[in-house]
Each structure stands twice: as structure tokens, then as C-alpha cells.
Amino acid sequence: MDLARVDVTSSITLAHDRYLPVDEAFAALLPDPGLVRGRIVGCTGAAATSLALALASRATATGSWLAVVGMAPIGIEAARELGVAIDRLVSVDANACRPDEWADRVATAADGFELILTGRPTGPPAGVERVIRKVRQRVQVRGVVLLTVSSGAGADVVLDATAGEWEGLGRGHGHLHRRRVLVRVSGRRVPRRFERELWLPGSTGRPELIEPATVSTVSAVELERAG
């Protein structure tokens, strides 16, 4: 028996079991190689919904199902352009629910889906915190990734997305084809807060990481010689 091959195969299997895949652009933002099963990722800011859908896109493309619970109607075409496999997207109505009802519907979704996208329930703070703890326990037991929009409360990782300007329009003509977004990363699973820029969507519709500009430094001696 080739023990080295067995070890490699076991490592790949364990990684598959622990993480759901994400687009390459998010590798620089998340503290792990993918979305860790049993954890909560909070998406906040002006581009929160787009960010959450983009985070889920690669997993749906590789076979995972996404339940959208209690959210405003998701634009199917927008989700498709962000890479979500819409034939694996199911919407669950939970609007205007009491916190307990919201928790029951999220918990039920956790029994059949690997990814859940939802907002924070409304109600008295004490009651909301209680049901969020209940949902966290179910998510951890079932190995589900919970993506929350508009609130990072209780999240393991928080991605705050500030939308910038769209690009692509010329002088009165052309099409908007990409948007610059600043993402601030924090949370109890993130050792140090930081921020990066993305195109969300990028020119192909998928997210693209914007590499920091390289700044050339010239010494005073070189400037003196040049003068």
C-alpha cells in the first residue's frame, strides 16, 4: 500500500468535507481556503447582497444547494451573472416573521441545504440574540455555511462591502460592466483587520481581486544624480 498516496487522498477528502469552495478572488479575504462548514459569515455594507451571492457562487456551481430565507426577492439574472447556479437556488419566505419563526425556518433549511443566505430577524434584542444562538447551534451540528446580510452580529467572519463607482460608460454610450468595491475584513476568526478592493462584478461577471498598486521609491541620492 502506498501510504503517501493514502495520506494525500485523506487530506483532500478532509478539506472537501470541511470547506465549501469559493472563487479565487476571495482567497485573499477569508482566513481559510474556503467557506468553513458550521460557521457564519456576515456580509454588510452597500454591496452586501452581491457579496454574499458571489461568495456562494462557486459552491453552487460544484453541486451545493443555496436556500435564501426571508430576503427581499433576489434578482435571478443578477445572481446568474455573479456565478450562482440558479437551478440550485431555493427561496424560503420568512418575511415579517417573529424571531422564533425565522429561527425555525432557517433550522429547517439547514437540514437540507449546505448554504443559507438570510437577513437578521427583527424584534427585541434579547429575543433576537437567543434565536441567533439557536440557529448557530443548528448550523454547527449540520455543517452548514450561513451567510447573513446587513448584520455581522455573531459572525465568525465579517465582510463589510462599500460600493464604489461603476465603470464601462463612455461619453453617453457603452454599458456598465464592473464595479469597484472596498471590502473590510474582521470577525472573531480573523487575527487582524484588513481591507482589499474587488471588482464586484468584474468584467466577466465574476469577482476579481484588485492588486494593490506598486509604488516605486527613489532615493534622494538618485534624485540628485538625475538632477
The domain limits of the chain are: 3-226
Question: pLDDT tens digit string along 119-145?
Answer: 888 777 778 888 888 899 999 999 999
Q: What is the pLDDT of residue 117?
A: 96
Specify which residues 198 forms β-bridges with. 181, 209
Instruction: Find cell 534622494 and name the residue.
Output: 220
Largest CA distance in the chain: 73
> How many Cα atoms are found within 13 Å in the side-chain-facing hemisphere of 107?
15
> pLDDT tens digits, the chain, 227 residues: what are they?
454 443 433 344 344 589 999 999 998 899 999 999 999 999 999 999 999 999 999 999 999 999 999 887 888 888 998 999 999 999 988 766 788 888 999 999 999 999 999 988 877 777 888 888 889 999 999 999 999 998 787 899 999 999 888 887 544 445 567 899 999 999 999 999 999 999 998 888 889 999 886 444 444 445 455 54
Three cell numbers written together for 2: 502506498
Q: What is the pLDDT of residue 175?
A: 57
Q: What is the pLDDT of residue 41?
A: 96
Q: What is the pLDDT of residue 7?
A: 42
CA distance 1 to 24: 35
Q: What is the pLDDT of residue 10?
A: 38
Q: To which CATH superfamily is domain 3-226 assigned?
A: P-loop containing nucleotide triphosphate hydrolases (3.40.50.300)
Q: What is the pLDDT of residue 12?
A: 41
